[in-house]
Structure 1
Amino acid sequence: MTIRSRARLAAALALAASGLAATPTLAQTAAPAGINPANIDRAVQPCDNFFQYANGAWLKNNPVPAAESRWGSFNELADRNYATQKAILLELARNASTAPAGSNAQKVGYFYASAMDTMAIEAAGLKYLQPYLSRIAGLKNLGEVQQYIADPRNTSTGWYSFGVGPDEKISTQYAVQFGQGGLGLPDRDYYLKDDGRSKAIRAAYKTYMSSIFQLLGDAPSLAATNADAVLALETKMAQASRSRVDLRDPQKNYNKMPVAQATQDYPNLNLPLVLKNTGLGSAKEVIVGQPEYLAAVNNLLANTPIADERQYLRWHLVSSLTSALPKAYGDASFRFAQALTGAKQQQPRWKRSLQATDRALGEAFGQLYVDKAFSPAAKARAKQMIENLRAAYAERIMATDWMSPATKKEALTKLNAFAVKIGYPDKWKDYSKLKITRQSYLDNLVAARQWASQDNLGHFGKPIDRGEWGMTPPTVNAYYNPPMNEIVFPAGILQPPFYDPKADDAVNYGGIGAVIGHEMTHGFDDQGRQYDAKGNLRDWWTKEDNDKFNAKADMVGKQYDAFSPLDSVHVNGKLTMGENLADLGGLTIAYQAFQKTPEAKANKSIDGFTPNQRFFLGWAQIWRTNMRPEAARQQVLTDPHSPAQFRTNGPLMNMPEFYQAFGCKPTDKMERPTAEQARIW
């Protein structure tokens, strides 16, 4: 099982971007204020392809670096953040031995130092992994497998996901939740599709597994047999898994039942043992996300040969720890990653270690980051812009001609109830029970996972922790969380090019303003709108308003279905529905808020562009991205976000304000007839 919190970070803006092999200081890489005219390709007509117009010169001059699968503004900002973080980590690692014993500074320093100590990792070999391998090798029957899965000290046990999160229909309580999980490939479709690309990925996956099994000591023929067994088992799990589109239906994925019923329905999972061993024995009910998946796992646990189950557990253990094993393991992992993403070389060790430190000790590390990179003044400015956007959203809701007064009233109640988190938590997590040493990176990784598991499970039976964050402070991202009805903006994204205090209002409203509006709109997209002001999964729409919303959303879905980033590859309008609606709503709200600024009212041009033109250029330039074809294919299959060029152009094709700003004509490629434009907010 995989321990996880089920709270949906429904509005994550983009995949976390990773950086280059070397990064200078933050000051040396600061982005220019406002619009960079050098990015523009003036050979392109803005109303034909605004993404290419706004970014074409940048796209030509910034190919994807060898260690990356994509490169864009998110990556550039992440790299500047990495420069600050790297300096912090190097200092902490140097001074960890003299830091106060058990302090956050010592833990972060030891973690990063152990991750960087490749000589110690090579010398240790399988020393620190062997106790976990030996336990798996000793499993002889279903009862022992159940004991292993139910032991919270064992990480990456696969089979299914399990954790504690807010009850989505009683948002004041935590609930125990089970669901699908346990696959090694990024999505079930990689197992099920028969196109050439999917077959090549499966072949690379088998090669990867076989390489790892050989490194563990299996003869080549046995390694291949074990890889086949794992792939066969995971394929059966994939066949029972819901698609990513089906997983977007919160009602369908909420199935509460008494523990007694779940125990009866899935006897081979031995849920009473799982609950007892994880400290959840007092739970009377559980929420099952995908009942048919657990039914399949229930059958597989009883009918899969124990030898094959051992290989499955062995594979998931080792593949989750390759970074803490000798170089040959990491090389095998990267060869498989190349098949998935097209990256040409592995990221430098320091960057991978930094990212691991952020995942393991995010708030201990993040506390030090915000001291250097995020001022109280920046937080205050962000809060003011959020309130400006909230006021503009209220105006847009009241101005809708398709929504009834009753639904408008509920919508305004929800909007006004949005909790706002900016920069970093008001209260930091307590890592006092997490033991980190300088000795073993593998032990540190396992300890951090066990701590995170206990941190999650420990919520059960307590009041909802509304101060908890789902992202760390340096993260270049943002999110909306429906059960908490909150919008969250880490310090990492509140920097250029998204927010720049030196830039004009047009650029900031087109950048971070649209990001803020995006997160707000997630509260009213096809998923978020199903939750009320208190975060409960409750239908507060009239039937007529519901039907009108769905008709408008379907227009957006069909628009994006037609977008194709590669030959024979089309965006999935249903998978990306929530993000596309949030982009359209966010940009609409940000434009409305911008119109209230003195700058917009003065209508004074800068660098030859009017304020409204600069607003849309600000939007387009935050999405500048080059991507490898392999990564683009993976994104379309697995990511609820559309590719960057469609995130840029798609909303604009529904905005007469854009057409007016650039003088678009009906013959231009981006302009759509009024009847085909989706206007929701």
Structure 2
Amino acid sequence: MDLSKQLLVGVALLTLAWSTTGAYPAANNYTTDILRLAKAAHIKAYLSTGEPRPCENFYNFACGNWPRLHPARLHNKKTNYLEELQELFVRKSADMLKSSKTSADSSADRVLKRFYVSCHAQANDTRSALEALLQVTDFRGGWPEIRVPSWYYYEYDWLQAVAMLKRRLGVNIFIGLDVVLDYKEENMHRLKIGAPQLPLGQRRQYLDSAFHEARERYEEAIRQKLEGYFPQQSERWQHEVAAQVLQIEQQLAKGLPHNPALTLEQTTRLRTAAEMKAAYGSYVDVSRYLQMIYNDTLYVDLYETPEDYMSNLVDVIRNTPKLHLANYTIWRALDTLDQARVPLNAQPGIWCVQLVRQYFPQHLESLFHRNFNNMQMINELQSTWADIKRVFREDLQASTNLHWLTLETRQKAIAKLEALELQFRNHDDTQLIRQMHGLNLHQDQFYANLVKVLQWRTQRHLAKLVEEPRLTDKVYKVPHYELTTNKMQIPITFLQARFFWDPVYPNALKYGTIGVLLARQMLHGFDDVGRRYDRHGYRNNWWDLTSETSYLRRAQCFQEQYAVFVQFRDKPVQDKGLLSRIVADNGALSIAYRAYSKWLRNSAETSATYQRERLPLLEHTENELFFLAYAQLYCSDYPESVELYEELPEPFRVNTALSNSEQFAQAFSCSKSDKLNARFKCALY
């Protein structure tokens, strides 16, 4: 069998091993040799076929074949290695959701399965989507030749129409309304009102001449959708309505910020509903709008953002014919339901899992966890976490490694580290069932189900205004450090078998992946942001002035080193969290590698141990495997449509961190003149 066939067989075997259902199985169904061969083939499949020198561009060496195997252009979105973990979760979830009902299913589980089955059967039924919309809207106006035989301008109340659609479908039309965390008081919510998210995005997409072709494509896409829903209507009508949609959104975009780089805080002001009513009058009556949303008069301060949007909206409402406003309103509502249609390049089963995950993230996690409970992976994470903490604790205790921190600050850092614990995602199933109470779905009525789900989700989201924030509201794909609790949250998807680690794999892979990811998040508790929160999660800067000054001086080395990365593929790089990311990337690589080295030294030093730390097909030492696993965590491909990179692209992140690693240079015998063996190495942790 030639090498290419070996690779195909190996990847197929690994995919089969990943897809094994049930609780984490021992390797009794697959021989150790086959599993190790499959993992080796998986690693080798991404290695560059052009054989670039590791010490010149290790990212290309480790990930050179990724774009060919996972091209971003096919999906018009970024592809990366960690997304494979999410795809594995989705495939398993599809099998789980389409399985017949079992006696162990809760009422919440049955809701998920009905929604999934109805989606799989009816998601592309345009007639059902239109019928569901017309049942929920109760319009007196908008597309009169379709809805009613006559239409009277004076009967149409645009504000009432958009408020009703916000309540029933959660769609923001003309006015964006959301419940967000208070920027200053993180233990409370606040209403944010202002600009909705427009389909094309920012101001320049609607108004700059450079995006003229993109606007033409958008207008044609609207016309084609209208043709699909209303084939009996003339092409002229379709063009007219599509043009009205684009024209209205262009007028709305005039109220968006000129500078898209401004933060939400920079474009927001605090006002009461009464103040906004006084400012915008009856054209955009904010008090009345909120009263219709909440069925009550609200006496609360609101975040208005951006500051110029609502005054511009007054002009739009005043100058736009009511028929156009009605057409736009019903189009946005229809487009909301149309978003559930299965795209041409998607598999219906996979797409429907994504919808279940979008609307019921916690419920799906709970069902997944009960079907794929993985205690061995949890134990391995705990063990690896203990090793990572031990290395960092020893650094903090030693007077040499982190001498730039004063003794007092190091002692406080040790106390914070000791209090930092892993928190595995789990849910109160009783509470989840209670949340679903009254949500009755039918497995043969997808769009009717979707309307019910959208209304259920919207009401729950709006009710957060009077609730305290909960960490379970957010679902992360990889481990995430929470500043305000000093806890590391481990998502359910992260606990899947044979992706990062298996008992038959070399431990180099575990430390190069799980170890690095845990160490990265841990260090966010000790960087320029984390130092402002103490071990209890309270805002309290626990660093003294000497330590802060030393940190900034050493961080300057990184900032100068990374300052050259202002463009990637002729597109700008604007990473607002660059310093925090740099510190985490470089420190995590060092800590995880030293944790692996300690494990290796403490293991029985026999030829069998070192043999187990190698893989077939790969002529790499155990140390080289560690760095390969690390680099392949970041294998990525970007579509040409990317306008700017909001995070430092992966090639820069991987290569620059490795250039600061003396251990990497030793593992690959890099010479002093090699690009990834920086003469002056930056270091913090």
1:170 counterpart = 2:171: no
In structure 2, C-alpha distance between the alignment counterparts of 1:585 and 1:63, rounded to whole Å: 31
Q: Which residue, out of 331, 334, 342, partners 1:315?
A: 331
For the 8 Å contact 1:566–1:629, the answer to whether it is kept is no
2:634 alignment partner AA: W
Q: Which residue, out of 36, 47, 51, partners 1:40?
A: 47
Deviates more, 1:421-430 or 1:500-509: 421-430
1:359 counterpart = 2:355: no
1:511 alignment partner AA: T
2:631 corresponding residue in structure 1: 620
1:88 counterpart = 2:104: no
1:651 counterpart = 2:651: no
In structure 2, C-alpha distance between the alignment counterparts of 1:363 and 1:481, rounded to whole Å: 18
Question: Residue 567 and residue 446 in structure 1: after superposition, are their counterparts in 2 closer, same or farther (change >3 A)?
Answer: same
Post-superposition CA distance 1:223-280 (Å, at most 9, x none) = 4344344334434554523756433x7x647755555545555656544344444449
1:452 counterpart = 2:457: yes
For the 8 Å contact 1:583–1:651, the answer to whether it is kept is yes
Question: Residue 570 and residue 461 in structure 1: after superposition, are their counterparts in 2 closer, same or farther (change >3 A)?
Answer: closer
Question: Residue 556 and residue 348 in structure 1: after superposition, are their counterparts in 2 closer, same or farther (change >3 A)?
Answer: farther
For the 8 Å contact 1:477–1:490, the answer to whether it is kept is yes
1:105 corresponding residue in structure 2: 109
1:583 counterpart = 2:585: yes
2:84 corresponding residue in structure 1: 76
In structure 2, C-alpha distance between the alignment counterparts of 1:663 and 1:431, rounded to whole Å: 59
2:631 alignment partner AA: A
For 1:321, what is the secondary structure of its paired residue?
A: helix
Question: Residue 169 and residue 664 in structure 1: after superposition, are their counterparts in 2 closer, same or farther (change >3 A)?
Answer: same
In structure 2, C-alpha distance between the alignment counterparts of 1:60 and 1:648, rounded to whole Å: 20
1:493-504 aligned within 5 A: 493-495=494-496, 496-504=498-506
In structure 1, C-alpha distance between the alignment counterparts of 2:336 and 2:319, rounded to whole Å: 23
In structure 2, C-alpha distance between the alignment counterparts of 1:163 and 1:449, rounded to whole Å: 15
Question: Residue 571 and residue 554 in structure 1: after superposition, are their counterparts in 2 closer, same or farther (change >3 A)?
Answer: farther
1:191 corresponding residue in structure 2: 206
Deviates more, 1:557-566 or 1:290-299: 557-566
Post-superposition CA distance 1:644-675 (Å, at most 9, x none) = 4334324323333333332323422333341x
For the 8 Å contact 1:40–1:56, the answer to whether it is kept is yes
CA shift, 1:352, in A, is 0.9
1:15 corresponding residue in structure 2: none
Deviates more, 1:82-91 or 1:411-420: 411-420
2:350 alignment partner AA: K
CA shift, 1:109, in A, is 2.0
Give aligned pairs, total.
Answer: 624
Post-superposition CA distance 1:403-430 (Å, at most 9, x none) = 5667667766665555643244355633
Question: Residue 569 and residue 463 in structure 1: after superposition, are their counterparts in 2 closer, same or farther (change >3 A)?
Answer: closer
1:424-443 aligned within 5 A: 424-425=426-427, 429=432, 430-443=435-448
For the 8 Å contact 1:256–1:285, the answer to whether it is kept is no
In structure 1, C-alpha distance between the alignment counterparts of 2:289 and 2:545, rounded to whole Å: 42
For 2:439, what is the secondary structure of its paired residue?
A: coil
Q: Which residue, out of 202, 206, 209, partners 2:215?
A: 202
Structure 2, unmatched stretches of 5+, are 1-11, 21-29, 143-151
1:516-527 aligned within 5 A: 516-523=518-525
Post-superposition CA distance 1:612-657 (Å, at most 9, x none) = 3322211112223344434xx25x45xx444443343243233333
In structure 1, C-alpha distance between the alignment counterparts of 2:530 and 2:423, rounded to whole Å: 18
1:508 counterpart = 2:503: no
1:40 alignment partner AA: L
Post-superposition CA distance 1:436-489 (Å, at most 9, x none) = 2224212222222222222223333344434x2422xxx744444555554322
For the 8 Å contact 1:433–1:451, the answer to whether it is kept is no
1:246 counterpart = 2:262: yes
Q: Which residue, out of 134, 148, 161, partners 1:148?
A: 161
1:337 corresponding residue in structure 2: none
2:63 corresponding residue in structure 1: 55
Structure 1, unmatched stretches of 5+, are 1-19, 335-344
For 2:346, what is the secondary structure of its paired residue?
A: coil
CA shift, 1:540, in A, is 6.7
In structure 1, C-alpha distance between the alignment counterparts of 2:252 and 2:222, rounded to whole Å: 17
In structure 2, C-alpha distance between the alignment counterparts of 1:308 and 1:538, rounded to whole Å: 53
Post-superposition CA distance 1:545-572 (Å, at most 9, x none) = 6676667667656655644886422433
TM-score relative to the length of structure 1: 0.77
CA shift, 1:286, in A, is 3.5
Deviates more, 1:557-566 or 1:610-619: 557-566
Question: Residue 24 and residue 546 in structure 1: after superposition, are their counterparts in 2 closer, same or farther (change >3 A)?
Answer: same
Question: Residue 373 and residue 229 in structure 1: after superposition, are their counterparts in 2 closer, same or farther (change >3 A)?
Answer: same
For 1:246, what is the secondary structure of its paired residue?
A: coil
Q: Which residue, out of 215, 222, 230, partners 2:245?
A: 230
CA shift, 1:111, in A, is 0.7
In structure 2, C-alpha distance between the alignment counterparts of 1:531 and 1:254, rounded to whole Å: 25
For the 8 Å contact 1:24–1:83, the answer to whether it is kept is no
In structure 2, C-alpha distance between the alignment counterparts of 1:456 and 1:539, rounded to whole Å: 33
For 2:177, what is the secondary structure of its paired residue?
A: strand
Deviates more, 1:356-365 or 1:403-412: 403-412
For 1:292, what is the secondary structure of its paired residue?
A: coil
Question: Residue 595 and residue 284 in structure 1: after superposition, are their counterparts in 2 closer, same or farther (change >3 A)?
Answer: farther
Post-superposition CA distance 1:494-519 (Å, at most 9, x none) = 33433444433321121122222233
2:24 corresponding residue in structure 1: none
For the 8 Å contact 1:51–1:648, the answer to whether it is kept is yes
Question: Residue 573 and residue 104 in structure 1: after superposition, are their counterparts in 2 closer, same or farther (change >3 A)?
Answer: closer
For 2:351, what is the secondary structure of its paired residue?
A: helix
2:163 alignment partner AA: A
1:117-516 aligned within 5 A: 117-118=121-122, 121-122=125-126, 124=128, 126-132=130-136, 135=139, 137=141, 144-151=157-164, 152-178=167-193, 180-191=195-206, 194-195=209-210, 198-217=211-230, 219-238=234-253, 240-241=256-257, 245-247=261-263, 252=266, 255-258=269-272, 260-261=274-275, 264=278, 270-279=285-294, 284-286=299-301, 288=303, 290-296=305-311, 298-300=313-315, 302-305=317-320, 306-324=322-340, 346-393=345-392, 400=402, 402=404, 418=420, 420-425=422-427, 429=432, 430-466=435-471, 468-471=472-475, 476-482=477-483, 486-495=487-496, 496-516=498-518
Question: Residue 283 and residue 61 in structure 1: after superposition, are their counterparts in 2 closer, same or farther (change >3 A)?
Answer: closer
Post-superposition CA distance 1:510-539 (Å, at most 9, x none) = 112222223334445666666666656777
CA shift, 1:313, in A, is 2.7
Question: Residue 536 and residue 616 in structure 1: after superposition, are their counterparts in 2 closer, same or farther (change >3 A)?
Answer: same
For 2:186, what is the secondary structure of its paired residue?
A: strand
For the 8 Å contact 1:560–1:571, the answer to whether it is kept is no
Which structure has the bigger radius of gyration? 2
In structure 2, C-alpha distance between the alignment counterparts of 1:544 and 1:254, rounded to whole Å: 35
2:460 alignment partner AA: D
In structure 2, C-alpha distance between the alignment counterparts of 1:50 and 1:499, rounded to whole Å: 22
For the 8 Å contact 1:41–1:55, the answer to whether it is kept is yes
Percent of paired sites with the same residue: 21
1:16 corresponding residue in structure 2: none
1:82 alignment partner AA: V
What's the RMSD between the two structures over aligned residues? 4.3
1:587 alignment partner AA: L
In structure 2, C-alpha distance between the alignment counterparts of 1:593 and 1:44, rounded to whole Å: 29
